[in-house]
């Protein structure tokens, strides 16, 4: 099939590259000249394992191209994936200006029937609004399908090509048949394609992300209780998570969640409920707990060294909101860094992929180390914020020797306390004695 993807951000680029890898003829459209120029030169503007190899192969074999010209993209195909950003507005609602702008342009350019597939995460009722929006601007038949993405950054290629499920909100038998044909190669493993109405599909995405965020905030609250009562949150987590109704995934305490999905989607779900006169008490608490949790590591450092950190040099391992990505949107590291700087500390950080993004957000307010141990050398403490694999098995004795004051704050409970202490480190973690 011939496919056009509008938006080459995280979701759009993964969708376009993976669809091309499946053999479809794909044109990706974006208004960002710098981004399109980079893609035409073969440079992937985001870090996602495996994405650059798939992109290079699909471009080389002629199945994938990039353009800033939406009209050109629409001449190429009558199947359009809409994958533009829907960032949070100040009141927590989703900013849909990009969605409606693209929909209007699709309607204006349409010379034949079009299937507009909304991949962007949008509030309940958006598909109906888009359907009315395009209906006012064209006499061509435009199907509007809700097809939320469930991609995990760092594992997006595998998630797309081997999905747990594919959710499609459709309003006609023709749209359903098209989606079945489009995704047929991904259904051979027996995983389901779930058809439902548009509103249910839209709410499905928010429900999934809010529930996963709830698991994270819940175990973070239990970790805080463990600190007070002298219990070990790791033992508690393993005991409770062994129940098949609960499970171990997304059930780890830490420095809080961040990224482009959980914070934004939790707020948008709360805002949607508010518009209908419903206060989502549990989901609201999830966000409140997470925002407090982002301060936990900085609080631990200040409790250990005092409110005035002038003259203290603090090393950070990890800046991205999670491993295997360079994404720092709402990353806990930003809260940690800003709190430490405000207290007078000097901060030196290392991240294997996110340093360029940190420079954009933090500038020269912190130092950027070229290697993990270069950050540690001469520091008064080491704070682990993001659990990249290369941080999981360091020589802890060498870390202790390199630090001016051998204190390790483990924001992800990666290390065994007895091993850290045996290496000569004063070890502090979350929810473990």
Q: How far apart are CA 262 and CA 20, in angstroms?
A: 28
Yes or no: say if 80 and 144 are a contact pair by the CB < 8 Å rule: no
Short-list 280, 278, 271, 317, CA closest to 297 = 317
Q: Which strands sit side by side in the sheet containing 25-29, from one edge to the other?
A: 64-67, 25-29, 2-6, 79-82, 114-118, 142-146, 166-169, 193-196
Short-list 14, 273, 27, 23, CA closest to 119 = 14
Short-list 406, 402, 404, CA closest to 421 = 406
Instruction: List the structure tokens of 121.
Output: 């995460």
Write out the catalytic residue numbers: 261
Q: Which strands sit side by side in the sheet containing 381-384, from one edge to the other?
A: 367-368, 346-350, 313-317, 381-384, 407-410, 426-428
Q: How far apart are CA 428 and CA 433, in angstroms?
A: 9
> What phi and psi, each to the nearest 5 degrees, are found at residue 272?
-60, -45
> Which residues, including other chains, have CB under 8 Å from residue 149's CB and lie 6 or more apart?
11, 14, 15, 119, 121, 160, 205
Instruction: List the structure tokens of 332.
Output: 């806990």
Which residues, listed in sequence order, are joined to residue 349 by a DSSP beta bridge? 316, 368
Instruction: List the structure tokens of 204.
Output: 């499905």
Quick one: angle between helices 126-135 and 198-229, nearest 10?
Answer: 150
Yes or no: say if 18 and 54 are a contact pair by the CB < 8 Å rule: yes
Q: How far apart are CA 16 and CA 308, in angstroms?
A: 50
Q: How far apart are CA 96 and CA 176, in angstroms?
A: 25
Quick one: angle between helices 198-229 and 233-241, nearest 10?
Answer: 140
């Amino acid at each position: 099939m011939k496919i056009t993807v509008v938006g080459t951000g995280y979701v759009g680029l993964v969708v376009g590259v993976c669809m091309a890898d499946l053999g479809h003829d794909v044109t990706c459209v974006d208004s960002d000249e710098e981004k399109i120029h980079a893609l035409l030169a073969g440079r992937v503007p985001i870090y996602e394992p495996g994405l650059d190899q798939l992109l290079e192969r699909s471009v080389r074999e002629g199945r994938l191209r990039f353009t800033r010209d939406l009209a050109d993209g629409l001449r190429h195909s009558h199947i359009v994936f809409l994958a533009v950003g829907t960032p949070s507005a100040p009141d927590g609602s989703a900013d849909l200006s990009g969605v409606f702008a693209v929909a209007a342009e699709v309607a204006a350019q349409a010379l034949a029937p079009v299937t507009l597939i909304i991949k962007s995460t949008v509030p309940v009722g958006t598909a109906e609004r888009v359907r009315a929006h395009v209906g006012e601007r064209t006499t061509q038949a435009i199907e509007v399908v809700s097809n939320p993405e469930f991609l995990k950054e760092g594992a997006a290629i595998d998630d797309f090509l081997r999905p747990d499920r594919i959710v499609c909100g459709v309003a006609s038998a023709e749209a359903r048949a098209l989606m079945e044909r489009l995704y047929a190669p991904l259904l051979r493993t027996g995983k389901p394609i779930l058809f439902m109405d548009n509103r249910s599909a839209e709410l499905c995405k928010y429900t999934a992300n809010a529930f996963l965020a709830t698991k994270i905030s819940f175990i973070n609250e239990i970790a805080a209780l463990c600190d007070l009562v002298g219990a070990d949150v790791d033992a508690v987590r393993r005991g409770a998570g062994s129940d098949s109704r609960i499970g171990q995934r997304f059930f780890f305490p830490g420095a809080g969640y961040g990224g482009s999905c959980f914070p934004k989607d939790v707020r948008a779900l709360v805002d949607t409920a508010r518009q209908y006169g419903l206060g989502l008490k549990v989901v609201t608490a999830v966000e409140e707990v997470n925002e407090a949790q982002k301060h936990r590591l900085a609080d631990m450092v200040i409790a250990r060294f005092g409110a005035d950190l002038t003259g203290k040099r603090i090393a950070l391992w990890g800046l991205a909101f999670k491993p295997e990505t360079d994404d720092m949107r709402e990353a806990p590291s930003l809260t940690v860094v800003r709190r430490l700087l405000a207290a007078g500390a000097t901060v030196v950080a290392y991240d294997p992929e996110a340093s360029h993004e940190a420079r954009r957000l933090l500038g020269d307010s912190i130092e950027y180390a070229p290697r993990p141990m270069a950050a540690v050398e001469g520091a008064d403490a080491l704070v682990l914020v993001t659990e990249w694999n290369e941080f999981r098995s360091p020589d802890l004795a060498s870390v202790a020797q390199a630090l001016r004051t051998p204190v390790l704050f483990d924001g992800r409970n990666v290390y065994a306390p007895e091993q850290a202490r045996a290496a000569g480190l004063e070890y502090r973690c979350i929810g473990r004695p």
